[in-house]
Amino acid sequence: MDIEILAEERAHHRRFRLIYRALLILILTLGSIGLVYAGFQTNQRAGWIVTVGLVVIAAVVTTMALRMDRRRPDQLVTTGPWSWGQVYSGHQQREIWNSMGKVLSQHGLGFRRLTNTTGLSERGGTFVYRKGHHLLDVRPSEDHPGWLVITVQSAPDLPTTITDFGRGAAINDDLLNAVPGFRRPDDPELG
C-alpha cells in the first residue's frame, strides 16, 4: 500500500519523540513543582504568580503539541517539524525529480540518492531554525497502477523539537506542489 511508504521511518521518529517528550515532561514537572514550592515559601502572592505562569506556559506548549501533525485542507502535507505528505503523478520519474530538484535548489538544500526511489535532502540550521532532513520518494503506485506516488517527509535533527516555525512543512508543500500534474490521494481521477 502507498500509505506504508516511509511508514517505518515515521514510526521510528514517533517512538523517539514519545520517549524524549516523556522525559522532558518529567523533568519540567519536577522543576515546576520546585518553583511553585519556592514561590510559596517566599510568600503566598509569589507562589500564586508562579503557579498561574506555569499553568499558562503548560497550556500553550500542550496546545502546540496537539496541533502538530495535522493536515490543513489547503496544504498537501501535515503541519509540524515531522511533516509528511503524498501526491500522485502520471509524468515520468525524471521530470518529477527534476521539478523537485529546482525546489531544493531554491531553498539551498543539498541532495543525495539513498536508493533507486529514495533521496535525502539536508537543511542547515540558522539562529532561528534547527537543522533537519527531508526524505523524498518517487515510485510506481501499488494502489493506483499507471501512476507514480511521490512521498515526502521531514524531520528535525533533535527529537525534542516542538516547532520549526513551519519550515519543514513549507518545504515539503513546495516539493509536492512542484510535481508536474500532481493529484491528491483523494482525487477521483486516480480511480
3-state secondary structure the chain: CHHHCCHHHHHHHHHHHHHHHHHHHHHHHHHHHHHHHHHHHHCHHHHHHHHHHHHHHHHHHHHHHHHCCCECCCCCEECCCCCEEEEEECCCHHHHHHHHHHHHHHCCCEEEECCCCEEEEEECCCCCCCCEEEEEEEEECCCCCCCEEEEEEEEECCCCCCCCCCHHHHHHHHHHHCCCCCECCCCHHHC
What pLDDT score was predicted for residue 35? Answer: 92
Q: Going by C-beta distance under 8 Å and a sequence separation of 6 or more, which residues neighbour residue 138?
A: 93, 96, 97, 117, 148, 149, 150, 151
Residue 159 near residue 20, CB atoms below 8 Å: yes
Instruction: Return the bridge partners of 77, or none.
Output: 85
Identify the residue with better confidence: 125 or 95: 95
What pLDDT score was predicted for residue 72? Answer: 67
Residue identified by cell 536508493 is 115
The neighbour count for residue 98, using CB atoms within 10 Å, is 12
What is the average pLDDT across 156-163? 73
What pLDDT score was predicted for residue 49? Answer: 93
CA angle 82, 88, 121 (to 5 degrees): 40
Please give the share of the chain, as a percent, with pLDDT higher than 70: 93
**pLDDT at residue 30 greater than cutoff 60:** yes
What pLDDT score was predicted for residue 71? Answer: 60
What cell does 147 get? Answer: 501512476
Q: Going by C-beta distance under 8 Å and a sequence separation of 6 or more, which residues neighbour residue 102?
A: 178
Residue identified by cell 520517549 is 19
Of the pLDDT bands very low, low, confident and very high (cuts 50, 70, 90), residue 79 is confident
pTM higher than 0.95 for the full model? no
